Structure 1
Amino acid sequence: MHSTVGEEPAVICDEVDLTYVETAPYRFVARSVLPVSPERLFDVWQSPEAWKKWVPVIKEVRWTSPLPPEVGSTRTVDMRGGISADEVFLAWTVGERMAFRFTEFSGSGISAFAEDYRVSDLGLGQSKVEWTMAMTPIGPSAKAFPLLRFAMGGGLNLTLRNLKRYLNSKEFKTNGI
């Protein structure tokens, strides 16, 4: 864990569990069929390098607990704009479900944040993923959030399309991650 990021102190986020992704004040859901098996998809999600290739805001991912991931595993994600988040995993069932929440966040405007990825095996090397992002905005962000709903949902769908594009790329097919 870190208590500062650059000059900005990190905010301790509310502790939430898996039910939060269903009950959070703001939830965004994206779904897609991806051209890899569920197990292969989890290989991609475990790779710190792969995240940077499909999530434009991510600069670096560092696992801060031993691999392979499991419930309770931790990592730090550095994002553009000098923002950083410490995460703890609430679910990690290879081929089925991955979920995490922020424990600390160097940005402002949220008191709780979690993501939940549910995966179904469609056979023939394909997976269906349902990705839910859940958050509780606070302060000025809480007032602006109703106006940002459309942009947030669109951004989530765009990011999932980026993942599909990456999984179809020559780089992925050649290098494997």
Structure 2
Amino acid sequence: MSRRLRSMELDFAESAPLRLVFAAEVSAPPELVYRALADDVAGWPRWFTAVTKARPTEGGAGREVRLKGGAVLRETVVAAEPGERYAYRVDESNAPGLRALLEEWRLTPAGTGTRVRWTFAADGSALFRFALRLARSGMGRAFRDAVRNLDGQLSGPAA
């Protein structure tokens, strides 16, 4: 059953009760990484294995994402700054205990490549926050794997 979550603005990425921040580098330039994040939403399952399906909604102003384990997220894009930042908040979800969630992807040049920083800013029940803290290392591994997969996809022959 999907529930409406608390609406928040971009500053929630810095003020959330629970913030998980991960970073990695890819060899592709920021503009190419941004296009994979923001313009090819349907392509996320090819590189982020936790995502089973993703599609843009509302002409690209929103997204619907399905995750392994059955979570469904309906999101609104709150920042779309080509080559620099892509962020979205979750408006509805079936994830138990979740009250608010915003994810921000920051891109900064790193030599000829890009430093990718992912902030997972959340609020939820005490049990949700506890479980998320326990999941931190697994989420970090999933992020690093996703970025490595994305790097391979962006530097492959079809890139």
Say yes or no: TM over 0.5: yes
Could you list the per-position Cα deviations for residues 67-102 of structure 1 after superposition, in whole angstroms to 9, with x for gaps in the alignment?
A: xx5xxx101001223321100011010101111100
Distance 2:79 2:142 in 1: 21
For 1:145 and 1:102, the matched residues in 2 are separated by 16
Match of 1:43 among 35, 46, 56: 35
In structure 2, what is the Cα distance between the partners aligned to 1:92 and 1:58?
20
SS at structure 2 position matched to 1:36: coil
Matched, 1:27 2:14: no
Matched, 1:157 2:136: no
- The match for 2:150 is 167
Rg larger in structure = 1
> 1:127 maps to which residue?
114
1:17-166 alignment runs, 5 A limit: 17-45=9-37, 46-66=39-59, 69=60, 73-124=61-112, 126-138=113-125, 142-143=126-127, 145-146=129-130, 148-152=132-136, 154-166=137-149
Letter in 2 for 1:129: V
- Unaligned 5+ runs, structure 1: 1-7
1:88 to 1:148, Cα distance in 2 relative to 1, 3 A: closer
Deviation at 1:168, TM superposition (A): 4.1
Q: Does the 8 Å CA contact 2:28/2:154 hold for their aligned counterparts?
A: no
Q: Percent identity?
A: 26
> Could you tell me how far apart the structure 2 residues matched to 1:170 and 1:145 are?
33
Aligned length in residues:
158
Gap runs ≥5 in structure 2: none
